[in-house]
Structure formats: structure tokens, C-alpha cells
Amino acid sequence: MSIPSGSEQAGAVVPVARNGSGQDGLDGPLAAREVGVHRRIEARLREGCGVDTGAVRDCFVWNGLQSEIGAEGGPEFEETFLELAGAEFAAQAGRTRSSLDRALLCLWVHHSSVRAWNHTYRVDLLTKCMIRFEETVRASWGLDAAPDEPVALALRLCELVRAEILLEDRLKTGSRLRYERALDEVVDGFAALLDESEGLADPVAGYVREEVGVRQEYHLVLRRAYRALAAVSGGRKWKYEMRKELQHLANSWPFSSVELSKLNAHRQALERLQAAQKSDPRWMRVDEGRIVYLFPFGVTGLDYETITSRLRHSFEHRSGPPDLVRPTAILDHFTYHADIWEPRLETDKRFDGMEVALPKVRLHVDEETVEELSASVRFSPMGVHCLRLERTLTDVYPGELHAAMFRAAREHGTIEVRCGDADRTWDRLARFARDLITKQLPLQLEADAEPDRRRGRHAPPPEIHRGRSHVLVRVLRASERKHEHGPHVGNDGTEMVQDGRRLLTLIGSSVLLHAAPDAKESLWDWVRLADDHSRQIWNQRNQGDLLISTENTTVIAALDAPNFISGDLEAIAEFTACLSGTLAAWNHQLDSYRASVTEYIAAYNTPGADRSAQLEAIKASRTRMLGFESQTRQVVSLLHSPSLLRSPSNAAALRRLLSVSGVDEQLVTFETGLGEVMADQSEATLQRWEGDRQQRIRDSLTAAVSALSVCAAISIWQAAGLWTPLWWSAVTAGVALWAVVYVVRRWVSYYGLRATARRVVRGPATLVRRLRRTSRS
């Protein structure tokens, strides 16, 4: 596998490099923001050096390649991709000879990485690819001693792009401390590079000077906006008319539309905060609450009893690699504190089961923020499984709550995730969950499989199918504040929020109304969220109770109700969210069945194949699918029946959540697919194949009876003396041989030559065993 280049896609041939290091292809200085400047650089590299610029550019485009290497995009994908990219960088860097050409190659990489940055959330892979380029060219060009000035400037520009990408990564952590520090470092870095390029007259220096000047001004405006937003949200007066400054900058600086759009997002957030400050606003603060991160999954290949027995065996024997996350305890029930579920249901229809407790998970966001999560993995006989992480929320303002809701996203910034006392760390919560569910859990489920293999049971390996992560926020107490991190509004108790409708009027309440983000534009981007009231459930029990369900979040705010009331709603919401993992496993089984039927039909039609084996295989597959259909339809009907939960009001809440969250729509889609599978041609194919086998049996019996009849007639004619005995014996042998050949040919064409031979060899032994069983009985 190789990284496709632009020249390969276009069918062009990369020209052979010409010797020379002149200015051919570069008519005058390089203006970084000039239209067509990158085409000029590309033309010089292609025509003057023979560099395949398309191949270099494609080293920063990995979405297509990711599907070939691994859909999960894990460490294996990264290592393979970086190895391929490094080889490409080395090949293209070897085609440059002059200092100018090498610097131009660095500028082309700078351009390619900036383009990729505008279209990807995988900033970690982007920075690793840029680091691999720098390491490769330094080794290839021998730059460790004293690089030429143009090459050094171009590489420094690439380093500053990496610093900008890391600044965005810090933004995605929600940490003001890390973001402010990274922003200052970027501004200082641009100022230093601007000083280094002063007084240099070569084209590369001019390019770097212009690009650095624009980006420095951009980050200076960004820093002024950040400081104004921090001051205004903290209740201070801050005179900063960002709109006027942007109008001036748009006319005097060659900012791109991307840069202006990012600055305008900050401007809108600042203006909204300033407008709210003038109207004596009330800020929302969650004084006490809980946040739960759910990572649902389904398991195929193992039933619930096998899953629980193998996990207990793994826990007791501490089997598996040493870097596995070791459970601290195994509980028989995870609903022992909640009696809302109907206990009289059959065991396989209850939402209950085994809970594997894990060590505490700690998120080190920055020096001041360390979040500790309780972690466990839950398994239910219904097939509703999940990884569950939970922590308490205390004195949380909207920005902090928004950052906390972002923790489960794959696009979250780089932090340090630890589980227990293990030395291993992960760089975000989503990767910890992915590693635990898709890598470590299958190892523990395979730990006790050897006894089954010794008994001759060759069950398929367990497969994990992940659903969508979900964030559940439960607001227990909330209050009104004058500003962010500000004092109470009053001292008479009226600052406490007792009603969900009042809660939604406060600044920052829009955080509760929207799905957890997949990107961040600023630390105050939540200010710009619209008030979307389309997925709210009011007054589920008491007046003012609030239940909000989005694509990946559920918010419960029953502020004037006892905690156990909202706790019941939390349990129902968790159950609803975890159904995505079950549906993922169900849909996988439908797809697997379709694929297996196609394989059986293709194998059946292959000349010389054992068609009997394919018939038995499709029979077994169809039988399993009938059982799967019965099981899933029971679960789906149970979800909408009042018998799953004890309380009718809780059953009504579940039905409303299924509808609002979109699970009902997913269930309808699944049932449609299930109906299509059960009505497909596999049943007709099975009947046709069975008819084919019965017809072969009838043909064989007919041939045998015909041969016996002819032989009987021959014996009569022989007794009558109509011919000589020798000729009658030859005719009898010929008839018997024809019958044998006919029957063998029919069954060899059905079983295949090898399977027929095995049946012939094993036939006597099988017959003897059957006779012995018959005699004993």
C-alpha cells in the first residue's frame, strides 16, 4: 500500500530534476498572501527539482487511507501512516539540492499542513506528521550542524504552525490556564521569528516575514479578545470595541476568510456578554450535580452467562497481559439501589446484571484541575452494556460545565488520563474508553476460552460493537450569580433556583439545551448557543421539572424534588442512552447474516464443493436468525410495554425518552431491516437446496431399483437358457457398474470428491456404531 499522489491520480509523470539552483520559476519575491504564490512554489519544485508535490500534500490527507488501514484510527493506523509519510518525505527531500529549493519544499509542507488543519480534527496526527517531516529532512539534508538561513526560516515557520495547532488543542481542553499560556507562547514565537527575518532579502525571508506579520497580528487580536471576554464575564467593565478593530484590520491586513470567521466568533461572544452585562444579568451556577459519561457497546459471539463466567475467571486468576486495567470488584447486580425495574420478569428480560468495578479514573487537565471519576463496566442479560464513568459537580459555571460535557468527545484536547495506579496513560477520555472496550475487554473475555476448545467447542471469537457516547447531567442544586465566579444575587434565599423554567432564563442555561460539542471556537463559545426548546420534557412529575434529551446528552433538573425522584429519571435515561450499543450489535448481526448467506450460495454453486455442508450451514444460520428475531422482537416490545418498570409514570417517562432521543426511530429502522432479512431469498434457497438433495436421493433409489429389476430379469432369462451364462454375468456386472457409477456421480457432484471419499471411508465404522446402539437399545 502506498500513499496516492496527485500525479498518480492525474496520470502525469513527475519530471526529472534539472541541475541548477537559480531563480527559474520564481519571477520576483514571494508574497505569502498573494493569489497563486503556492502554484509558483509548486511549479518550481516540480519542474526544477522533480519533486512530486502531490505526494507530499497527500501525506497530510489521511481520511481515505484511514479506511484502508483501520476504521478505528488507533495507534496501529498512526504508526503505519507515519511510516509511509516518512518514506515519502525522504524520497522527495532527496530530490532537492539547493538551499532555496529545500526552503521551498518546507514552505510547501507549511501550505499543505495549513490546508489539512482547516479540514481535520485529528490535530495530534497532523502535528506528528509535521514532526516526522522535520526529523526526516534534518537527517536527509544534514541540518543539525548549521542549516542555511532560508531553510532555517522555513522550518521555524512550520514549527510555529505546530504551535498554533497545539494552541487549538489547549482550547479544546477548556483550560483557561493552558490556553492563555499557549497563546502567549505563540505571540512571542511570532515576534521572535519576525526579528530573525528582518534585513534578509531572499524570497523565502520575504515570504516568512509577510506570513508571520499577519499571523502575529491575528493572535494579538485573539489575545485582546480573550482578555476582554475574561474581564466581562468576571463582572469588570472593559471598553473594547472589537467590531471597529476588525473592520480596520480587514481593510489594512490580508486576513483570510477563515481567520476573519474565527475572530468574528469571538466578537459575537464578547458583544453578547457586554449586552448581558448592561441588562443586570443572572448567571447560572450548578452548586451540586452529577455528570455521567456513558460508552455503550454490544457483544456478539457470547451469551450473557458466558460473559459473566469468563470475566469472573479473569478476575479471580488475574489472567491476561500485565498492562490490563484490573477490576477492583465484581458485583452481581448494578440496580440494587434502584427498585424501579420490575423484578418479576424473566432473568433474560431484566435490565440488571453484573457490574465490574474499576479503579478511579483521573483526568489531569492542568495544574489546577484534576477530575476523579468512578468507573465501572455493566453487563445486562438484555444485551444492554456500557462503560460508565461518573463524578460530582460542585460550584460549576457554564464554561466549566460546557468543558465537562466535552470530555467524552473524540475531538477533545490532549490531557492526561490515568486509571488507578497503572503506569500507562491515555491522552483523552475517549481513547481510554476505546482501548478498554475494544482492546482489553476482548482479552478478558478470551481468557477462559481454552476449556471450551479442549471440549471441541469452536465458538466464534467475541466481538465488541460500540454505540455513541452519551453525557448525562443531573442538576441537584443551582443558584443565580451576578457574574461568572461572582457573589450571590441576594442574601434572603431567593438566589436559589427552584424551577426549571427559571433556570433556562439564566446566562449559560443554553449549555443544557444542546448536544455536547465536537469542536470549540473559544472558551466562551457557549454564549452563542441558541435557545433550542425542541427536545424538552416538562413536568414529568412535579411542576417545573425539566428533562432535556439531545443527540448525545440528557439533562435532568428536578430542583424542588427529592434526589431519589431525579435518581429514577437518571436510571431511565442511562438505560435509553445505552440502547445504542445494543442496536449496534443487532445491526452487525443482520449484516453478518446477509454476508454469510451470500457466501453459502457462492460456495454451493462452486464446482466440486461439498453442497451438503453448505446446506447444513445455511440451515444452522437460519435457525440462529430465527432465534435472534424472536429475542430482539421480545426486547423491542418490552421497551414499549408497561411491564419493564414498576411505576406507570416511569414507564411513561421511558416512552417519552425513547421518542425524544431518537431511539424509537432507530428501532423502526432496525425492525425494517430485520423484516427484510427474514423475508429474503434464504428460505427459498434453503427449500430449493433441500429439494435438490431429496431429488438426488430419489434418483439414486430409482437407479438402484432399476438395476435390481434388470438383474432379476437377467436371472430369469438365464434360467430359461436364452443365452450363455458368461454373457449374462457380463451384462449383470455392466448393469450393476452403471448403477454404482450413476449414484456415485450424482453424490460426488453434490458432496464433492473429498467429502464423498471421507464418507465412504467412514461409512463402515458409522454403520457399526449404529448397529451397536440399536442392539443395546
Retrieve residue 236's grid coordinates: 469588570
Q: CA-to-CA distance for 727 and 714, rounded, in angstroms?
A: 10
Q: What pLDDT was estimated at residue 681?
A: 66
Provide CB contacts within 8 A for 390, sequence distance 6+.
Answer: 290, 291, 292, 293, 373, 374
56: pLDDT strictly greater than 90? yes
Torsion region of 20: left, alpha or beta (phi above 0 gives left; psi -120 to 50 gives alpha)? left
Retrieve residue 189's grid coordinates: 514565537
Task: Report the range of poorest mean pLDDT among 248-262, 332-346, 587-601.
Answer: 332-346
Task: Report the range of poorest mean pLDDT among 23-37, 350-364, 589-603, 697-711.
Answer: 697-711
Q: CA-to-CA distance for 56 and 151, rounded, in angstroms?
A: 17
Asked whether the beta carbons of 128 and 78 are under 8 A apart, the reply is yes
494: pLDDT strictly greater than 70? no
Return the DSSP state at 516: P
Which of 558, 400, 543, 567 is closest to 477 using CA atoms?
558
Q: What backbone torsions phi and psi does residue 219 show, to the nearest 5 degrees?
A: -75, -25
Q: What backbone torsions phi and psi does residue 595 show, to the nearest 5 degrees?
A: -65, -40
Q: Please write the tens of the pLDDT for every residue from 105-127.
A: 999 999 999 998 888 877 888 89
Return the DSSP state at 30: P
Q: What pLDDT was estimated at residue 552?
A: 92
Which of 678, 658, 463 is closest to 580 using CA atoms?
658
Confidence of residue 334 (pLDDT cuts 50, 70, 90): confident
296: pLDDT strictly greater than 90? yes
Q: What pLDDT was estimated at residue 30?
A: 84
Q: Please write the tens of the pLDDT for every residue from 503-556.
A: 998 999 999 999 998 888 899 999 988 876 667 777 777 778 899 998 899 999
Q: What pLDDT was estimated at residue 705?
A: 64
Specify the pairing of strand 496-497 against strand 536-538. Answer: unpaired
Q: Please write the tens of the pLDDT for every residue from 372-419.
A: 999 999 999 999 999 999 999 999 999 999 999 999 999 999 999 999
Q: CA-to-CA distance for 125 and 465, rounded, in angstroms?
A: 25
Q: What pLDDT was estimated at residue 21?
A: 40
Q: What pLDDT was estimated at residue 425?
A: 92
588: pLDDT strictly greater than 90? yes
Task: Report the range of poorest mean pLDDT among 89-93, 465-469, 581-585, 767-771.
Answer: 767-771
Specify the pairing of strand 470-481 against strand 553-557. Answer: parallel
Q: Position of cell 409514570?
A: 649
Q: What pLDDT was estimated at residue 143?
A: 81
Q: Please write the tens of the pLDDT for every residue from 735-745.
A: 666 666 666 66
Q: CA-to-CA distance for 158 and 142, rounded, in angstroms?
A: 18
Confidence of residue 94 (pLDDT cuts 50, 70, 90): very high
Q: CA-to-CA distance for 54 and 42, rounded, in angstroms?
A: 9
Retrieve residue 436's grid coordinates: 478498554
Q: CA-to-CA distance for 481 and 422, rounded, in angstroms?
A: 41
- Average pLDDT of 184-196? 94
Q: What pLDDT was estimated at residue 114?
A: 92
What is the chain's mean pLDDT, rounded? Answer: 82
Q: What backbone torsions phi and psi does residue 122 show, to the nearest 5 degrees?
A: -85, 60
24: pLDDT strictly greater than 80? no
Q: What pLDDT was estimated at residue 530?
A: 80
Q: Please write the tens of the pLDDT for every residue from 672-681.
A: 999 888 877 6
Position with higher pLDDT, 103 vs 709: 103
Task: Report the range of poorest mean pLDDT among 43-47, 206-210, 422-426, 582-586.
Answer: 422-426
Q: What pLDDT was estimated at residue 720?
A: 58
Which of 384, 413, 414, 431 is closest to 72 using CA atoms?
431
Helix (H, G, I), strand (E, B), or coil: what is residue 395?
strand
Q: CA-to-CA distance for 758 and 764, rounded, in angstroms?
A: 11
Position with higher pLDDT, 388 vs 454: 388
Bridge-partner residues for 496, per DSSP?
Answer: 479
Q: What pLDDT was estimated at residue 14?
A: 35
- Average pLDDT of 305-310? 91
Return the DSSP state at 352: -
Q: What pLDDT was estimated at residue 739?
A: 65
Confidence of residue 220 (pLDDT cuts 50, 70, 90): very high
Q: CA-to-CA distance for 53 and 104, rounded, in angstroms?
A: 11
195: pLDDT strictly greater than 60? yes
**Which amino acid type is present at position 740?**
V
Which of 631, 715, 626 is closest to 298 using CA atoms?
631
